[in-house]
Amino acid sequence: MSNRQEPAPSGFTRRSFLQGMGAGALAAGTGVLAPKIANGAPQDAAKPALCGPDPVPVTLELNGKKVTLPLEPRVTLLDALRNHLDLTGAKKVCDRATCGACTVLLDGKAVYACTVLAIEAQGRKIETVEGLAEANQGIATMQRCFVENDAQQCGFCTPGFVMACESFRRSHPKAARDEVLQGLGGNLCRCGTYHGVTQAVLDAIAGGK
């Protein structure tokens, strides 16, 4: 999974969250909310603050547009997209960062949206499979290559695969077949479309047919 990296801290990290948990024992039930944190401003790790459990305003930079909505801090980026914003392209399959069906791009890097909290994604550019299409007159080169190579059957893994492939193509603009196989190990398909996916990536790298 050479193309996959842990998301960079955006003001709300797993570490600060866990540190906050310690203070949370004292402040439990008070629903203390630090709007700064909820909005993604950097914070001092020495002074952890809490947010939630009630919904907090969350601002996401989604496909080039800023969207603010109230979300419980525990809502994942995937659930925010699917359940709150009706962007259902990213799919929920394993819900445990294994299968890649929920892949979206965060600042251009492929991430599993099921394992990123929506509040963590604040202040970062989020790109979904729908956004990729919109930014390219309805269908991007990678998506067209998927269609032409029949790189999809039931299609449930496809949007995640498309985004992982797109991220890979951007970071490996001259990749050969072996690198493609190496780079896309983070996505799973049950119908068995890998042959088409591999060819789609190679075609997209070559600029599309």
Partner 1 sequence: MELAWPDPKDTTVLGKRIVRLDGPDKATGRAKYTYDTNRPRMLWAKYTTCPHGHARVKSVDADAAQKMAGVVAVEVLAPAGAELNVAFAEVAIVAAESEEIAREAVRRIKVEFEVLPHNVVDDDPQAAGASARPGRANVQGDPDAAFKEAAAVSETEVGCSIITHCCMEPHGSAVEVAADGKSLTAWCSTQAISGKNGRFANEAGIGDASTSVAICQHMGGGFGSKFDIDTWGQWAAKLSARTKRPVKVMLERDMELALAGSRPSAFARMRVGCKEDGTVTAWESEAWGSGGTGGGVGVRELPYVFGNVPNKRTRTTPITTNTGDQRAWRAPNHPQMALLTMAAMSDCAAELGMDELEFFKKNLGYTQRAKVYEEELNLAAELIDWKKKWMPRGDQADVVRRGLGCSIHTWGGGGHDSNVQCTIHPDGAVEIACGTQDLGVGTRTALAIVAAETLGLPLEKVKVSIGDSRLPPSGGSGGSTTIGGISSAARDACVQAANALFEKVAPELGGDAKKLVAKGGKVYAADNEAKAIPWDVACRSVGAQPLVTTGKQQRALMQQGVGGAQAAEVEVDVETGIVRVLKLVAVQDCGRIIDLLTAESQVRGALIMGVCSALYEERIMDPVTGTLLNPDMEFYKLAGIADVGELVVKMMETPEHLGRGVIGLGEPPVISPMAAISNAVANAIGARVARCPMTPDRVLAALHKKKGA
- Binding site residues, partner 1, CB under 8 A: 72, 74-75, 79, 82-83, 86-96, 98-99, 101, 128-130, 132-133, 138-139, 143-144, 146-148, 150-159, 162, 180-182, 184-185, 187-198
Question: Taking the complex as a whole, how short is the minimal distance between the CB of residue 11 and partner 1, in angstroms?
Answer: 22
How far CA 187 is from CA of 19, 69, 84, in Å, comes to: 32, 30, 25
- Indicate the helix (H) or strand (E) that contains 171: helix 158-171
Reference 128, options 94, 93, 80, 58; nearest CA is: 80
Question: Taking the complex as a whole, how short is the minimal distance between the CB of residue 143 and partner 1, in angstroms?
Answer: 4
Question: Taking the complex as a whole, how short is the minimal distance between the CB of residue 28 and partner 1, in angstroms?
Answer: 16
Q: Identify the DSSP state of 80.
A: I
Question: Taking the complex as a whole, how short is the minimal distance between the CB of residue 13 and partner 1, in angstroms?
Answer: 21
Nearby residues of 75 by Cβ (< 8 Å), 6 or more positions away: 83, 84, 117, 118
36 vs 183 by CB, closer to partner 1:
183
40 vs 159 by CB, closer to partner 1:
159
36 vs 177 by CB, closer to partner 1:
177
16 vs 88 by CB, closer to partner 1:
88
What are the helix and strand counts (H, E) for the chain? 8, 5
Question: Taking the complex as a whole, how short is the minimal distance between the CB of residue 161 and partner 1, in angstroms?
Answer: 9
33 vs 184 by CB, closer to partner 1:
184
Residue 138, Cα to own-chain centre: how many angstroms? 20
Residue 76, Cα to own-chain centre: how many angstroms? 10
